Amino acid sequence: MNARNAEGRTALHKAAFWGHINILRFLATECKVNPNHQDYNGDTPLLAACYNGNLEIAEELISAGADVHGTEQGTPLSMVMNQLDDAFLDQSGKDRLRSLLQLLRRSGATS
């Protein structure tokens, strides 16, 4: 289950990026796929979830042991903070990102 594709991503990366919560839960809990695996760019499944502003996916990954401190590629906290500056983001999108920021901070993330 820790097989990688051409970009070095696992199935957990894909489930996190596309928001497939049931698949992510199965991979993280039943298959014990490493939630901190980095692809060839240094991205983790948690970074993928934060890139898409997916609070539910981020919660699952953190519960499965995902590192909230990030990699050389960046931190989940800084990724979410940068997205808050998006001029095209509507209020519900900003609220979702603020909730994600709160989750990351409660979980010990720093920028």
**Which whole-number Å values give the CA distances from 71 to 36, 68, 78, 87, 95, in the listed order?**
10, 9, 11, 27, 25
Mean pLDDT of 57-82: 90
Angle ∠(42,60,71) on CA atoms, nearest 5: 20
Mean pLDDT of 77-96: 88
Structure tokens at 47: 């970074």
**pLDDT confidence bin for 110, thresholds 50/70/90:** confident
DSSP state of 42: S
Q: By percentage, how much of the chain surpasses pLDDT 70?
A: 93
pLDDT tens per residue, range 17-36: 999 999 999 999 999 999 99
The least confident of 22-36, 46-60, 62-76 is 62-76
